Amino acid sequence: MSHAKSGEDANGECRDSKSRVTIVGSGSWGSVAAKLVASNALKLPSFHDEVRMWVFEEVLPNGEKLTDAINKTNENANYLPGIKLGRNVVADPDLENAVKEANMLVFVTPHQFMDGICKKLKGKIKGEVEAISLVKGMEVKKEGPCMISSLITKELGINCCVLMGANIANEIAVEKFSEATVGYRESREIADTWVQLFSTPYFMVTPVHDVEGVELCGTLKNVVAIAAGFVDGLEMGNNTKAAIMRIGLREMKALSKLLFPSVKDSTFFESCGVADVITTCLGGRNRRVAEAFAQSGGKRSFDELEAEMLEGQKLQGVSTAREVYETLNHCGKLEMFPLFSTVHQICIGRLKPDAIVHYRNFGPNPKL
């Protein structure tokens, strides 16, 4: 599909032919995505200037609604304070209204909310619409794991690419150089349109023909970051942390290929792979909260620490570790993934945080 509807002139100038973009989500990464897309929508003739952003309505301490505050100040004071999103970003608390006229949807919410969002939008998406998911995580059903891009395609009947990478939101917000990877399934043309829409001089985007590989990298690296946080909290040092990152990357690759044999080895050397593992294990909220969990000896729950440390943002790694554990348990492969399985067991209090290295079965994975 072309990113503009038929009937445009040679320059894409006919008003009705222009693509409209809506960002579904408004946390820190959703707000950064809006800023990136909004700057390009103004420059690219084939896009409408206005970029809608669906905001889960909250009331600020001063009694003002978050959507009103964003539309008045052009900033998301809750999740990205001090950063102008672009005057062409319009916050909308009504999900259906926000997506109504869009033919390009950018999904960027915690993965725990995606099932509900898809159910709300089912049957409401009309015409030729393309989606991209920036959501890290997966749904585990009794028949096995369902990637968020597949959930979007299945529930809404639209093609869905993914964008993942070494992307800590507040660094991109202040325009520090970063890279990302767009994974696409069929149409390279659509992938190139998303690349065009997200790329800026400080945000370099590369397309890769491997949706599952890119998406699983973005999902599984949060489990590795939890492990790295345990290592930091117990002050085990850089050698140990490097070992955990390497073992984690190996398990990411082995699990990805177990679930989807089509996943390419080369994907793990893209920004979504090794670079994302490194940045998430050095910074990132999953590492930070896991560090605090280990410092408490596992006595303070992740829920309590999330509420205290993240100011409304959501952890992904703990729920992803559970989903991975359920998937591996379901297919009888737990023993092949000792790091992933240990992370989950520490998270639920079945093992102590120092088990991250005392669980010694970190030998090579059987060939998949």
> Is 187 among the annotated ligand-binding positions?
no
Strand partners, 52: 22, 90
> Is 127 among the annotated ligand-binding positions?
no
72 SS3 class: helix
> Is 222 among the annotated ligand-binding positions?
no
Cα–Cα distance measured from residue 21 to residue 50, given in angstroms and rounded to the nearest whole number:
8
Which amino acid does the sequence have at 271?
Answer: S
> Is 302 among the annotated ligand-binding positions?
no
Annotated catalytic residue: which of 5, 18, 72, 221? 221
Q: Is there a catalytic annotation at residue 221?
A: yes
> Is 72 among the annotated ligand-binding positions?
no
Report how many helices (DSSP H) and strands (DSSP E) the chain contains, helices first. 15, 10
> Is 314 among the annotated ligand-binding positions?
yes
> Is 56 among the annotated ligand-binding positions?
yes
> Is 28 among the annotated ligand-binding positions?
yes
- Cα separations in angstroms, 256 against 50, 57, 219, 220, 270: 38, 36, 10, 9, 15
221 SS3 class: helix
> Is 113 among the annotated ligand-binding positions?
yes
**Residue whose pair of structure tokens reads 């639209």 in the numeric block:** 158
Query: Is the CA virtual torsion 6, 49, 23, 97 positive or negative?
Result: negative
CA nearest to 242, candidates 223, 258, 227, 263: 227
> Is 29 among the annotated ligand-binding positions?
yes
Q: Which residues are catalytic?
A: 221
| Binding site residue list for NAD(+) | 25-30, 56, 113, 169, 285, 314, 316
| Binding site residue list for substrate | 136, 285-286
| Binding site residue list | 25-30, 56, 113, 136, 169, 285-286, 314, 316
